Structure 1
Amino acid sequence: MSTRTDAFVSYSHADQRWLARVKVHLKPLVRGSGIVVWEDTHLRGGQRWREEIDKALSKAKVAILLVSPDFLASDFIHNNELPPLLEAAQREGVTILSVIVSTCFFRRSVLSEFQAINTPDTALDTLSDGEVNRVLVRLADRVDELFAAAPAAVALAPAHKSPPAPAAVAEAAAPRRQPKPALAAPLALLVKNDGSWETVEVLSSRVDGGTEVHLTLQPTQPAQRAFLASLHQRINLASVVFNEQLYPCRLRNLSAQTQGAEAETWQLVAEVRERPEGMDYIFNGQTPEKRAQFQADLLLLNQRPPTDASLPYMLQQRVADDYLPPLVGLYHYLGQDKAAFKQVAPLIAAWYLHMGNIVHHIYRLHIKTDGNSIEVDFEGQRQAQYHGKPAVISVKGACALPKDVPAEALDVRLRA
């Protein structure tokens, strides 16, 4: 896989005047930051133009698309430039920046899923020169942000080393206490509107008055970086789970900061939205607390609720015979990795416990596996609605882990 270091501009030749305007605004970045901005005017006579375009596409870290009716109608762009860019955006986190230069059918195109620099109602050819410059300055700022990287500090060894002092030699020879292993950074669970999710390490966090969540995230895997890049472009964050608390939210800002190849962090700011509460009621003796306990037992231990016909109607709980708890599917989805399961399972369980209105606060949630069973120790609290004090829901025990699960159990998307 080639290193992605450049910006690639895709445009229709009918829009060359807009290409010229974009190049003017990107020129200070090219000159001052050394950013390579490639578009097909770089091609020279005698070059194999198709190979050169493919090479430029493979090196694109940022794709700037000048969208117009001619752009959307171009078979060459549709068949040759967009597919590799869209795939790279999904798999490698390549950023797609659309600039709508002429009023067009943008909202019905696949590009509408990505963040655009301007809206279809503010196409460049409908704006004054001053307004066009403001849009293109936003584009240049975004490109600058994506390429900004502080050089990593390099420790230089001295040219000559002095012999160590006798005390230093004695200290080196003495046995030393082994340092304690560093604690793993906590994880946040990020969930998209379509139910897909990813976990990312959290370096710092802050919740402002219950209205905003601020997280500093450090992705360590390519899949995590691609997920964050996709989240940034499509702005489709649905919820965050952190410290066993669920935050239904709307993404306000997500930006990457890179300091060398090994120190990439992302700043996430999200507006917390109110979570709709389920309608609680008492019917034939079945209280909301009893239903919540049934749900928790089923979710965490696969313990089936009673089906005794002697129980009042609505206290009889029926579950499909082939039902599998989501934690069982999660274990197999993670490739039966016990360590990964121990980290991720509490986040997934917390999402279900909150979204199902089973509890409103989690006091304790420990989940682990030995490969044969899942062990759970959970206690949470429901808000007081019908009683003088809040009800406590608790689950403690183990459930067997099947060695094989049906394919549908591996669909671990989180759907409200």
Structure 2
Amino acid sequence: MTIAETTVFEALESNVRGYCRSWPTVFDTASGAWLTDENGKEYLDFFAGAGALNYGHNNPLFKQALIDYLLGDGITHALDMSTVAKRRLLEAMRDLVFIPRGLDYKVQFPGPTGANAVEAALKLARKVTGRTTILNFTNAFHGMTLGALSVTGNAAKRAGAGVPLVHATPMPYDGYLDEPEDLSWMRRALDDSSSGLDKPAAVIVETVQGEGGVNVARAEWLRHLAELCSARGILLIVDDVQMGCGRTGPFFSFEVAGITPDIVTLSKSIGGYGLPMALVLMRRDLDQWAPGEHNGTFRGNNAAFVTAEVALRHYWSDDRLQLATLAKGARVHDHLVALTESFTGISTRGRGLVHGLVFEDASQAEKVCQVAFEHGLLVETSGSSDEVVKLLPPLTVSDDEITHGLGILTRAVEIVRDGH
């Protein structure tokens, strides 16, 4: 890009901007798994809006429904008023998500971000139990607002709060101590009256820590965590903001463990089209909110309700997307395993269509992402030291696109490791 093209961004946009620094171009259009910049260069998207575009860019099914809704003067802003679009979405959630899985959740529409859903979940847990402490996990990421930051592990993100982040206590995530974690420390601390740990209102957990470095919790560990919480009257919150909506295969990432969380947070791809939307799902008896006790001006994004309903009805009326995601994920896994066998100091981990390539030399991960961008592939880093190249392609990505993207990634690793 020329200086003239970047001037308005550099002159007017805050220094807080991030992704544009890693991907220095001006994007113009997008379709499916591809973005095109204003110069016509195409980029295969293995980032997918940080997981907000599980169904790809400008999915034609959603686009047409949205266009029809807008042309018909459908309501776009409604706070928490009842609308036809909201009713249709709730019916789809009930019929296609809850009933097939034996779930009996109430649905809350908080402000339309994952962080706001987490804030609402934490507030509700404290209100219902009368307790203040929340247990979270090492390497967790739950959002950038104060409550969500208090249960987030990353020191740099926490430092941005500017105030003490209190009433949260971190516990070791599965594998944090370089071996399978059996929750013995948490169990002992909760049951020992001299541990100094107050009985918590809730435990909040990601089944796969995306921002934390694609750390995957075992199904057995998740079951033990659910049992531990249930036996002690502690609410279990699963943050499925990034890993829900099919990212790991099933609609909910916790289905692999056969557990039923007390509270679930959803955002990102629940809106289908990339439109802002978030949900808090709660056990029916936990819905103890007073009217308006947690609210937000844009909690009624009806345009997102429209595309969300289409996404549910098209992709979740059967198990085709789930099976396809698992099959594509297996292809990615096999390729990455072969790649790690060709180079020392690299490992891989993941589930479904979220995978990480982990570098012992953290600086190489960012270099791989930069080279991949130069060759037309968007991938980002994650992990406490940005040591992981995270792959998060749309679930609708084709086999040929997977092959193409993995080819670019492999070439990027070769260039970085060979030093040219």
TM-score normalized with structure 1 length: 0.20
Which of the pair has more CA radius of gyration? 1
More helix by share: 2
More strand by share: 1
Structure number with the bigger relative contact order (C-alpha 8 A, sep ≥ 6) is: 2
